Amino acid sequence: MPLDALIHAVVAGLLASAACGLGVLPLFIPGLDPAKHRGLAYGVAGGLMCSASVYNLILPALGLDHEGWTLTRVAPIILGFLIGAGFLAIVEHRIHKPTDEGEAKSSIASGWGGRVGLLVFIAMTFHSIPEGVAVGVGFTSDSVGGMGEGAANMQLGMVLALAIAIHNIPEGLAVGVPMRAAGASFGKCFLAAFLTSLPQPIAAIPAVLLAWFFQPLMPLLMGFAAGAMIFLVILELIPDALDTESPARLAWAFTFGFCLMLLVQVIL
């Protein structure tokens, strides 16, 4: 495998990671304090995550081989979805739930904006793995017609990387919102958003070297990421948001977040 394909895949993945960090920039707006509207912030984050699961993971996974929505195509996505949900359930059970202020400060979760912030961080990190694999596989594909193999690899890989980078911006916001609402600093929000996308350049390396192995696994990986995120939204974000917000206001916040991610998809 040419070394330049590997270098381009890693660089593209790093740029996509940086774009995810940019998603927290709206949190710097003066007077915008998610902590005062924590329930609404969770609703927006939930909408962003569910929309990303549907439009960036499930639907692309269904169309990867262009053979239609057959049972053979759906089965690995469903399996990955269930595994992802089960994984998130285990993680949620393992995370320590503080019982007093002293324990909260010493808890690992407290450094990431509490239990919900840490769970969002974990779910979004796993969501980045199949995206990194997609970029790596893209740089090794020769499926763009009318070009030589090298030119095809470069164009498809860069298109995928650009699309993922743009999608990463609102995804970074989804990471930063619950953390900021729980009192995390701007610096931690930016770092967390960046780190959730760091698996992209890392996963791109084996994907370039072993594209033949990873390409068939993409539906399973994408289903896993979608399952983890949607399970998290239902398990944690929505119930926690309902503690401080009315169902109607939460529903509008969720709808706004969902449409924001959908708008990014349409723009692309």
* Of 268, 202, 258, 251, the residue nearest 230 (C-alpha): 258
pLDDT grade, residue 175 (50/70/90)? confident
What does the pLDDT average to over 161-165? Answer: 72
pLDDT higher than threshold 90 for residue 120: no
Q: Between 197 and 117, whose confidence is greater?
A: 197
Backbone phi and psi for residue 244, each to the nearest 5 degrees, phi listed first: -125, -10
Q: How many CA atoms lie within 13 A of 34 on its CB side?
A: 32
Sign of the CA dihedral running 75, 81, 84, 90 = negative
Chain mean pLDDT for the chain: 77
Rg (CA), the chain: 19
Residue type, 162: L
| 145-156 confidence digits (pLDDT tens) | 333 444 445 565
Say if CB 174 and CB 124 are below 8 A apart. Answer: yes
pLDDT of residue 250: 93
CB of 156 within 8 A of CB of 189? no
The sign one gets for the Cα dihedral 152, 156, 162, 165 is negative
Can you read off the two tokens belonging to residue 128? 């980045």
Question: What is the value of pTM for the model shown?
Answer: 0.71
- The answer to whether 162 and 169 have CB atoms below 8 angstroms apart is no
